[in-house]
Structure 1
């Protein structure tokens, strides 16, 4: 049974995973079930403190959690250039073609190692496709975007959001009933 209002950020891998009472390998507890929805609430290096959908909490090796993409924002209108995956896919294809051309020239002796490094310096490409889901790296925005084939939404960014000094500082509030 899922706790009311629970929104997972991750799931446990298909094979399940070991868990600990504290971020200490000497304090093991019951392993977590495969594909159990969890919310990552804290990180300490590779350790992740998770709140499970059944109300339990535990420490796990956070590197092995499977991220759950958040639903992209819904739009009743046509795709915008920010949400349409096609322009980013096109830029990714172009960057990959530039890298491949440089590799070909290097392999045939048309480039030396230093020229290859200069030509590819700053080139960043990232693509993961798994069925209808895809993750694309957008170097212009320094972010990973998640797409379902029709629209993109930000999945992860390289840096935290820039400080907006025009607003009061944010304070952390714990909803009632949560630890």
Structure 2
């Protein structure tokens, strides 16, 4: 196709494709490492065009970006690529879990209160040297980080056209009579969809 300039390639395992951004309308799958041009995004969906002009919709989260020109010196990663916000959220959530464990061990919480206090908490973090795998609960995906950039490693569920929900905030409150010290609060205006349980597939020992 004249003027075709690939922006991404299909992952090495290939990629399912759909006629439209609708999981009920599948079409032919794309071959592994096929160069494609991403022309439109709708939430998680991405419309791609192949070199022969054939177009389809795919899970845009799984496309592998073609390397572009290097960024200018001192250029910061985009918010989508920057690992720091997600790392800060994971640290905050882990601190809340540790606080609940300490209260349980100290006898300030019973088992039922411990369960209620941590209801809805989800966290995923695997470290292996400089390599990190982080679970993004808002987009239901595992991300890989080399320390400077995030890339989607694996996803669960079908892509959606809805924008990602606002990240759940861990709100710390002063302890008092009849008051729970930690709450998990969704940002205003966003709902939280039910989640499948998270499974640990390959634990890694990390020496502190």
Alignment TM-score, normalising by the size of structure 1: 0.50
Alignment TM-score, normalising by the size of structure 2: 0.43
> Which structure has the higher relative contact order (CA within 8 Å, separation 6+)?
2
